[in-house]
Amino acid sequence: MLIVLKLLGSIALLIYGMKVMSEALQKMAGPQLRHLLGAMTTNRFSGVATGALVTVAVQSSAATTVMTVSFVNAALLSLAQAISIIMGANIGTTMSAWIMSAGFSFNVINLVWPAFLVGIVLIQTGKHRYIGDFLFGLSFLLFALGMLKQTGIEMDLAGKPAVVGFFAQFQTNYGTILLFLVIGSVLTAMVQSSAALMAITMVLCSTGAITIYQGIALVMGENIGTTVTANLAALSANTQARRTALSHMVFNLFGVLWVLIFFFPFVRMVCGFVGLDPTAENQSPTQLSFALAAFHTGFNLINTAVLIWFIPQIEKLVCMVIKPKKTEEEDEFRLKFIHGGIMKTPEISVLQAQKEIAVFGERMQRMLGMVKELSQENDDDAFQKLFDRIRKYEDISDKMENEIGRYLGQVADAHLSDETKGKIRGMLRQIGELESVGDSGYNLARILQRKKENKIAFSPEQEQGIIQMYGLVDEAASRMNVLLQGRKEDYSIEQSMEYEERINAQRNLLKQQNIKDLDNRVYSYDNGTVFMDLVNEFEKVGDYVLNVAEARLGISNYIS
């Protein structure tokens, strides 16, 4: 029982170590990873290279795959780009197998203690915190590998007749291979960690409990089981994201099929590569672990080399299998890019939220366009329908602020980098100011409704003044949306400030003219009051729009 607990505890430490390593690396290079995924996928080959590099960096194909699915969900990557990245991720993840095989070849525990020491010092001092987290995770990983190796020796499964007799009943044939393949798939899907199953496989092989053929069958099953991670991540995502996850499964299923056809010759070739005789007794644990790692690498390299030429066909296949949902037009209240439960990486969650904020900005500018239409509408029924639509948009703005704010609050609960925390603060300001734009848009509609009910007619000069105010506000809103949709590093606040100054100048000019016109009795006091209410509300919209722009660019001194 103690040995079993040591085995399970070692596997738990292994999973935890890899998780800490992966999270630390993603925090250190989060923005760079996002830019790498977006910039280096110009063709299928660069996409494969990008997926491999990112997976080697974060030591988790699941993280890369979930990241990729989320990018597709947020419309940052095309399906073809995502497929190539996932192919690369399958190659990159083989590095974990080589690290584990190295752990079975020498006493890695000797490396643990200095890594623990340096890591805890960096974490406690606060300097290079993420490097410390990485070293801490690496220490747990190495310690777990050392414990697995030691536990495997203590288990001495090859010396236990009952264990040997149990596995001996499985003859080396296709039936056994298929059985172990299914076992590997099911266990990996349950544990949600192919690395953990790879470690168990190496222990079983190195102790002589199972043959190299059975071990490789388990590894093949692990490749299928690990695709469940991406498919679970995509359950609540859009159609393209679910197609991306399915393409991951198609890739690995195809690989398993061709390996099964050439199974025994291919295994003998891999074993020959590491100098292992698969039929010999008393095989070297080191050679067995290297053979498993070599198979894992060869499997994914050959699979990618074949399927990289068929990415368009894979894309067509997954599009045929997963068709768009035949539902009514998307409810206006539903968020477009944020889907609860999809993301596990805060950096990508922030990107999704920013895409949603960009949609928020476009909706508010559309609402202001409705206000302009309302000001020119004379038909009573058409006026009321348009007014109701503006009121609905004001309700939408409240809901969008609440939903995006709640989502950002959930993201903020995670352990974030200082840069990401700053982004979330800025985004909360953005949605607050955008909601104020919605309130002002509705206020403008109510003023126009009051104008209509009181049968107030503006003079041509007043009409022209309102048109000029709307034009300036619309230009400022267009600039705001450019900032929300682009990379903030590419823009400055000067143009937005210029629009704000022009709006204020126009407001002051119209205010002075209104006073003169009232003194000269050009129109009534009620007329002048409604006119200035509209002008002042437009000026407030300009303030809120500038606040959004400044929040997007990270400028703290904004107009209140």
Given a cut of 60, whether residue 478 has pLDDT beyond it is: yes
Residues 200 and 71 in one domain: yes
Domain assignment present for 339: no
319 vs 37 pLDDT, higher one? 319
Same domain, 404 and 306: no
- Cβ atoms 353, 426 nearer than 8 A: no
How high is the pLDDT of residue 34? Answer: 56
CA distances to 88, 256, 311 from 314, in Å: 15, 16, 5
Angle at 296 between CA 290 and CA 302, to 5 degrees: 125
- pLDDT on residue 233: 62
pLDDT band, very low/low/confident/very high, at 343 (cuts 50, 70, 90): very low
Same domain, 76 and 141: yes
> In this predicted structure, what is the pLDDT of residue 319?
87
Q: What is the structure's pLDDT at 548?
A: 95
pLDDT at 238: 66
Q: Are residues 363 and 404 in the same domain?
A: yes
**Domain co-membership, 257 together with 355:** no
Across the chain, mean pLDDT equals 81
Residue with tokens 């559309």: 366
Same domain, 22 and 113: yes
Total count of domains within the chain: 2
| 292 in the same domain as 355 | no
Spatial separation of the C-alpha atoms in residues 287 and 26, rounded to whole Å: 33
**365: Cβ contacts below 8 Å, ≥ 6 apart:** 474, 477, 478, 480, 481
Phi and psi dihedrals of 291, rounded to 5?
A: -65, -40
58: its two tokens: 């974060």
Question: Whole-angstrom Cα distance, residue 172 to residue 183?
Answer: 16
Q: Write the pLDDT tens digit of every residue in 265-309.
A: 888 888 888 888 777 777 777 788 888 888 888 888 999 999 999
Closest alpha carbon to 220 in 230, 212, 229: 212
Q: What is the DSSP code string of 434-453?
A: HHHHHHHHHHHHHHHHHHHH
The per-residue DSSP string of 522-548 comes to: SS-HHHHHHHHHHHHHHHHHHHHHHHH
User: What pLDDT is recorded for position 41?
Assistant: 57
Q: What is the pLDDT of residue 560?
A: 41
Contact present, 411 and 349 (Cβ < 8 Å): yes
Per-residue pLDDT band at 10 (split at 50, 70, 90): confident
- Residue 333 tokens read as 């209240």
Please answer whether residues 299 and 181 qualify as being in contact, where contact means their C-beta atoms are separated by less than 8 angstroms.
Answer: no
Whether residue 436 lies inside any domain: the answer is: yes
Q: Which residue has the higher pLDDT, 496 or 22?
A: 496
Answer whether residue 296 is part of any domain.
yes
CA distance between the termini of the chain: 66
Structure confidence at residue 329 as a pLDDT band (50, 70, 90): very low
The tokens describing 197, both together, are 């199953």
Q: What is the pLDDT of residue 29?
A: 57
516 compared with 142, residue with greater pLDDT: 516
- What tokens does 121 get? 């010092």
Residues 6+ apart with CB under 8 A from 452: 383
Q: Is residue 277 part of a domain?
A: yes
Is 170 exposed, middle or buried, given 0-12, 13-18 or 19+ CB atoms closer than 10 A? middle
Least confident interval from 336-340, 440-444, 502-506: 336-340
Asked whether residue 476 carries a pLDDT value surpassing 90, the answer given is: yes
Domain boundary among 304, 321, 338: 321
CB atoms within 10 A of CB 238: 18
| pLDDT tens, residue by residue, 381-403 | 999 999 999 998 998 899 889 88
**Residue 246, token pair as written in the block:** 């399915």
For residue 2, what pLDDT is reported?
Answer: 76
- What is the DSSP secondary-structure string of 250-264? HHHHHHHHHHHHTHH
DSSP state of 309: G
Tens of pLDDT, residue by residue over 172-221, are: 778 888 888 888 888 777 766 677 777 778 777 777 777 888 888 888 88
Q: What is the pLDDT of residue 289?
A: 82
* Domain shared by 42 and 180, yes or no: yes
Q: Which of 130 and 243 is assigned the larger pLDDT?
A: 243
Cβ partners under 8 Å of residue 524, min gap 6 = 456
Structure tokens at 403: 């939903």
Q: Which domain holds residue 451?
A: 346-553
Burial of 120 (0-12, 13-18, 19+ CB in 10 A): middle
CB 292 within 8 A of CB 286: no
Q: Residue 360 — very low, low, confident or very high, per pLDDT cuts 50/70/90?
A: very high
Least confidently predicted of 60-74, 510-524, 536-550: 60-74
Is 134:29 a contact under the CB 8 Å cutoff?
Answer: no
High-pLDDT (> 90) share of the chain, %: 29
Whether residue 317 sits in one domain with residue 350: no
Q: Is residue 338 part of a domain?
A: no
Residue 486: inside a domain: yes
Q: What values do phi and psi take at 555, rounded to 5?
A: -95, 125
- Pair 354, 485 in one domain: yes
In this prediction, residue 40 has a pLDDT band, given cuts at 50, 70 and 90, of: low
| Helix, strand, coil in percent for the chain, rounding step 5 | 80, 0, 20
Q: What are phi and psi of 394, to 5 degrees?
A: -65, -40
> Is the domain of 280 the same as that of 374?
no
Angle between helix axes 194-206 and 94-103 (nearest 10 degrees) is 40
Q: Are residues 293 and 409 in the same domain?
A: no
CATH code of the domain covering residue 467: 1.20.58.220
Helices (H), 207-325: 212-225, 227-233, 239-261, 263-273, 285-307, 311-321
Give the pLDDT confidence of 479-532 residue by residue, as tens digits.
Answer: 999 999 888 888 899 999 999 999 999 999 999 999 999 999 999 999 999 999
Predicted confidence at residue 558, as pLDDT, reads: 45
Across the chain, how many H-helices and E-strands are there?
A: 22, 0
